Amino acid sequence: MLLKNLWCGKMSLRVGMASATVFGLLLLAACGGDSGTSALSDNGTSSSEEIQSSSSSPKVESSSSFILSGDSHEESSSSSSVELNCSALLEGETDWNWNVPKECRFNSGIAYDSMTDPRDGQIYKTVKIGDQVWMAENLNYADSVKTPSLLKRSWCYNNKAENCAVAGRLYTWLAAIDSLKLATDAANPQDCGLLKSCTLPDTVQGICPPGWHLPTDTEWIILFTEVGGESTAGKALKSQTGWNESGNGSDAYGFSALPAGLRYSGGAFGLGGYYAYFWSATETYSNPRYSYHGDADDMYLFSSYEETGLYHHDKGSAISVRCLKDGMSSSGEKAKSSSSNKDEAVSSSSNQSSSSNEDNEIDGDRCWDMPKEAYLNPEIDYGSMTDSRDGQIYKTVKIGDQVWMAENLNYADSVKTPSLKGKSWCYKNKTENCAVAGRLYTWAAAIDSVKFATDADNPQDCGYGKTCTLPAKVQGICPDGWHLPTKTEWETLFIEAGGESTAEKNLKSQNGWNISNGTDAFGFSAIPAGFGRTWIPEGFYFFYKGDYAFFWSATESTEYIGNIWAYSMELDYDYETENLDGSYKEFAHSVRCLKDL
């Protein structure tokens, strides 16, 4: 499915979750607490907006400050030592526990080295694997005065500073590559922001300490090869404890990867205990016919798999960073970023700016230069209905025993319906686009979440990051006598429209689609209205008008961890097969209402 391809994985369009059901489901992407002692606000940011000055930055004790009891070796430092009885702390622990200190997760059979980050004095374990020298723990650097790229782009898991002390910080890709440093480089300034592409140097220091850098895809692959190949590398790189579902590794080489999870670009945290992700300095290039540069590559580890590999997330997700020491790769020459081998690198000057939400659009070829009536099938005898709330009139059509709106909902009254406030948009923020293709709504808006929250008999908090027990019929923001269709009701439509293999072509409008229009055989007249989404803190963006249509269902996707998904129906520009799968609740999709029986 497109959304998973764009924001969480390596699957091609329409592959969706098929390649690994549980893996894909769980996938679908940093907390303000500093690693030091600054006071935290309710959202986990420090009182100085995550700015940790070098003058006030405390030196954080490393693992060498502890004596590890119950292990095969002891470590001490000149500073006061605290004894850790790791055997006792780990006794009975079968899953991830943030209360277990990182010192208890290292492999006691490995002779680790160490390095000190001169920027803040933090000490990190290091390990040599083949000819590469890696940090054996996640980066926990937070000084946004020295490194402005970090401001509001790095977090501790669940906004708890103590979690940074265990598993380091979670960084967006822009933070990881130190995008502001690249932009202000006097010799070769590069604008490597969200939805932009640039030609990165062979070695990207990013937010790593001097003498270290953010690894490229090539360098990750070298690591996989050195520890036995991708099919078993996951087990070899994962720590010996802490992974859920009996997914612990052998940690045979001392990489000691912890399941630190991620922060989704919408702001929710998830997958702690199940996944580890580490950024690469390599961008992901999507379908070249789009100017979309929203993803970057990463390495993943999953509790249920012994293998590993390269994946990709949207650049607004926040994941871990492991730094690699500068020098020679195991191939005998410096590893080069795969971004430098692209056939056609796109200059950053040709990409759209993300500074203005008015222009934040990743678009197809066609413009909506016709009124909405022009997208209806002239051979269909449509009915009509009037929305009593605002007087708008919508065409309707009967397909089987169901009566559907044949146009997208365009209801916007946030006074009568407070759920809509700040949660619905016209495409590209232009009112005339709503007149053609209706509004785009988040799932919380579509179900009218405020109405559920204020229900006197059964108040429920439903929305992003939350789950609730919805009634069998959810009116949501639909007019009286109509409701938001469930997953089952969408499936009924697919069957009536010819079955899975042809339903999409039969439901798409006869014009307006890039590459492949539909037959609109039943008058559903779906037009490619695209969708919208937020990247925090970068802003709100619009995508793929002319190529995709997404319609919300009233059914949550409970298979996904974190309660951040609901089912939506997807129609694509060049496929004849419909798709009904999970979508981020924060995304903004179209709404088609179904008449109550």
Burial class of 432 by CB neighbour count within 10 A (0 to 12, 13 to 18, 19+): exposed
139 versus 264: which is more confidently predicted?
139
Residue count (the chain): 597
pLDDT of residue 536: 64
pLDDT of residue 34: 36
pLDDT of residue 145: 95
pLDDT of residue 53: 34
What pLDDT digit, counting tens, does each position of 450-500 carry? 999 998 988 988 877 777 889 999 999 999 999 999 999 999 999 999 987
pLDDT of residue 195: 74
Mean pLDDT along residues 209-218: 97
| 268: confidence class by pLDDT, cuts 50, 70, 90 | confident
Give kind and range of the element (H or E) at residue 82.
Answer: strand 82-85
| 336: confidence class by pLDDT, cuts 50, 70, 90 | very low
Locate the domains of the chain by residue range.
2-53+114-351, 359-595
Among 266-270, 369-373, 474-478, top mean pLDDT goes to: 474-478
Could you tell me the end-to-end alpha-carbon distance of the chain, in angstroms, rounded to an integer?
31
Task: Show the tokens assigned to 97.
Answer: 């526990």
pLDDT of residue 81: 41
| 555: confidence class by pLDDT, cuts 50, 70, 90 | very high
Residues 6+ apart with CB under 8 A from 455: none
List the one residue out of 133, 135, 69 whose CA is nearest residue 103.
69
Q: 88-97, 110-119, 235-244: which range is least confident on average?
A: 88-97
* Average pLDDT over the chain, rounded to an integer: 80
pLDDT of residue 481: 97
What pLDDT digit, counting tens, does each position of 525-545 carry? 999 999 998 876 667 888 888
Using CA atoms, how far residue 460 sits from 73, 455, 466, in Å, is: 53, 8, 10
Q: Report whether 571 contacts 577 (CB < 8 A).
A: no
356 versus 83: which is more confidently predicted?
83
Using CA atoms, how far residue 86 sits from 18, 59, 70, 73, in Å, is: 40, 24, 6, 12
85 versus 341: which is more confidently predicted?
85
Residues 208 and 176: their CA atoms lie apart, in Å, by 8
pLDDT of residue 328: 52
pLDDT of residue 83: 66
Give kind and range of the element (H or E) at residue 437.
Answer: helix 431-437
Using CA atoms, how far residue 259 sits from 147, 159, 238, 268, 398, in Å, is: 26, 16, 8, 16, 50
The packing angle between helices 230-237 and 217-226, to 10°, is 80
Q: Report whether 237 contacts 259 (CB < 8 A).
A: no
Residues 399 and 168: their CA atoms lie apart, in Å, by 54
Mean pLDDT along residues 332-341: 36
Q: Is the pTM of this model over 0.75?
A: no
- Whether residue 510 is predicted with pLDDT greater than 50 in this model: the reply is yes
407 versus 344: which is more confidently predicted?
407
User: Which strands, in side-by-side order, build the sheet including 539-543?
Assistant: 361-362, 539-543, 531-535
Q: In terms of DSSP H, where are the helices of 189-272?
A: 217-226, 230-237
